Amino acid sequence: MNQLDALRQWTTVVADTGDFKQLSISKPQDATTNPSLILKAVQKPEYRPLLDEAVKKHAGKPLDEVIDRLLVRFGTEILSIIPGRVSTEVDARLSFDTAATIARGERIVALYKAEGIDTEKRLLIKVASTWEGIEAARQLERKGIRTNLTLLFSFAQAVACGAAGVQLISPFVGRIYDWYKKSAGANWDEAANAGANDPGVKSVRQIFAYYKQHGIKTEVMGASFRNVGQIKALAGCDLLTISPELLAELAASNEPLQHALDAKAAGADIAKVIYDEAGFRFALNEDAMATEKLAEGIRAFAADAVKLEKLMQESGK
């Protein structure tokens, strides 16, 4: 049994890609996308026609709507290949606007429904884990719209998401690792901070333990991996979303894989935490890594959304 098949025994494997033609190789249960992945895909010759088609078919409509239609086109293609759910992201530029995030999420759902997709079972709307994003997700969930809270770097964000009753969270393992490695500089010891000692892995383990201990039903999906060691250290997490490159690396290895996380033995006792808005903002502010990576992530996704718009404008000329 290769490591990818071994991982599937305990964890739902999710592909983190907009390149849907790769999905038949790794055979994931679910798939996640984001603006950067879609931008990367449409710059490939085999996917550029999808962008050109969306622009031509919906000429005259607002650019943000055409982008949503392109995202949904990719999502429906992905759903034709995988048996589970696809995550489609709301524009990161709306990360601090609850009402606009709700409206955009509802529009994406309506577009999927128009394609005949059972959105309650097969779609997750990705929203940034800001206070405003979490509140938008709370309201979307009440309407039967399932959400995936992304750009999550801190325990405080995870606590607030669990309290809001969101379907799933995506803690960014690799970006947490990146911050601590950069911060340590020449003092970074890769061996000492690998596996279970990796700061990104430790963050997910804490969140996983807290959710399981307090009966929080929100699913935990580790994301943004830099190496297979991080993935192996989280074997047993509810879900893991993994790039095609790392999925291939796991599939190529027949080394034994241990069950690292167990919901029945989730870890140390962690007291229940409740945040109001002020408490959440202060807790997030106290975490320099999470504050910086959240802002950086929103900026990066917003920049890629702008690049995607420019490609569409060029296509329409």
Confidence band, pLDDT 50/70/90 cuts, at residue 90: very high
Closest CA to 283 of 293, 271, 295, 273: 273
Q: Just list the catalytic residues.
A: 126
Mean pLDDT on 108-118 = 98
The pLDDT, as a whole number, for residue 25 is 84
Q: What is the pLDDT of residues 29-60, one digit of tens each?
A: 999 998 899 999 999 999 999 999 999 999 99
List the end-to-end C-alpha distance of the chain, in Å, as a whole number.
Answer: 52
Domains of the chain plus CATH, in order, are: 3-315 (3.20.20.70)
**Verdict on whether the full-model pTM lies above 0.85:** yes
Distance between CA atoms of residues 111 and 109, nearest Å: 5
Tokens standing for residue 136? 């938008």
Asked whether the beta carbons of 151 and 294 are under 8 A apart, the reply is yes
Confidence band, pLDDT 50/70/90 cuts, at residue 167: very high
Task: With a cut of 80, say whether residue 268 has pLDDT above it.
Answer: no
Q: What is the pLDDT of residues 9-20, one digit of tens each?
A: 999 999 999 998
Burial class (CB in 10 A: 0-12, 13-18, 19+), 113: middle
Tell me the average pLDDT of the chain.
96
**% the chain with pLDDT above 70:** 99
Task: With a cut of 90, say whether residue 264 has pLDDT above it.
Answer: no
